[in-house]
Amino acid sequence: DDSKKEYCSVQFDESEDKKKALQHSISDSETAISEMEGSIEELKEELGALDAGIRALDKSVAEATEQRKADNADYKDLMSSNKMAKEVLGWAKNRLNKFYNPALYKPPPKRELSSEDRIVENMGGVVPTEAPGGIAGTGIGAAFVQIREHSQVRREAPPPPPETFGPYTTKDEQGNGVIAMIDLLVKDLDKEMSEADVMEKDAQADYEKMLEDASTKRATDAKSMSEKENAKADTEVALQEEKQKLKDTKLDAMALAKYISSLHAECDWLLQYYDARKSARDSESESLVNAKAVLSGADYALVQTTATVRTGRFMAPRVQ
């Protein structure tokens, strides 16, 4: 019983220690699983926000690109139409100078005759002169009308002429006034073209800066997204491993519980009645010792009685 009691006590202590360790491991695993599941959900939300941000950034870049193309097309149309308008005004000014300021008049370049035309001219023939084309014989293409049409809304129509004659002026004064007005119009066109050029350069610089910033942000977000995806994948692997560990630990805890139950079935009766059985054994041992002692004392008394009887037989009584 003593060795059995010691065995049961040791097994109960060891089993209780294992049970506490398993319970602690189960608690740690459940906490770790909860934290990892929360981390995965946070990573999913962050990945969704990054993806939405990248999509929105790409959309804004595409819209800015389309707007930049449209603005650049308007700029080119404006510069082209203003250039052609300056050519028309220059032609008109030159025609006016022919009558009012002959010294400033610039005749058109002489026509280059072909070899056939030179032969005809040398032989006294007349080389036909081609009529100048374009608007009113200016040589400026009629396409100017189509190009300039969209910008007419930006300029107000000139006021109607006065109904009465103004003060008397000479033809030279009238011509110089018209030429001055043409110069003013050309100056306005130059100013408009200069402002448009500055605005175009600023808009292009802003657009390029926006593209650079967008590219940097997109690269940063893409890198962060890749890192978070890797972290999410690693956390999911760790989560599965922790779940498997928790499952195995619970199985070990169940096996330990069965073992402890078997220990109770084996040891509870012994532990419960150990003291009573030990007391009974001690009493039994003591009784055996006493009985042995009693038996030993009876044998000694018997030896003494026998010796006395034998002595009396051989000794005669003394006569007084």
Weakest mean pLDDT among 143-147, 174-178, 197-201, 301-305: 143-147
Give the pLDDT confidence score for residue 46 in this predicted structure: 95
Give the pLDDT confidence score for residue 126 in this predicted structure: 56
Phi, psi of 176 (to 5 degrees): -65, -35
Give the pLDDT confidence score for residue 123 in this predicted structure: 65
- Cβ atoms 186, 86 nearer than 8 A: yes
Higher per-residue confidence, 44 vs 156? 44
Q: Rounded CA gap, 22 and 113, in Å?
A: 111
Phi, psi of 203 (to 5 degrees): -65, -40
User: Which pLDDT tens digit goes with each residue over 190-200?
Assistant: 999 999 999 99
**pTM for this predicted structure:** 0.57
243, pLDDT greater than 80 = yes
User: Which pLDDT tens digit goes with each residue over 260-315?
Assistant: 888 888 776 766 655 666 665 666 666 777 777 777 765 555 445 554 544 444 44
Give the pLDDT confidence score for residue 8 in this predicted structure: 77
User: What's the mean pLDDT in 153-170?
Assistant: 48
Q: Rounded CA gap, 193 and 111, in Å?
A: 33
User: What's the mean pLDDT in 69-96?
Assistant: 93
User: What's the mean pLDDT in 248-252?
Assistant: 94
Please list, residue by residue across 24-52, b when 16 or more beta carbons sit within 10 angstroms of its beta carbon and e when fewer do: ebbeebeebbeebeebbeebeeebeebee
User: What's the mean pLDDT in 169-197?
Assistant: 81
Is residue 298 helix, strand or coil?
Answer: helix
Give the pLDDT confidence score for residue 241 in this predicted structure: 95
Higher per-residue confidence, 278 vs 166? 278
Residues in the chain: 320
Confidence of residue 93 (pLDDT cuts 50, 70, 90): confident
Give the pLDDT confidence score for residue 276 in this predicted structure: 61
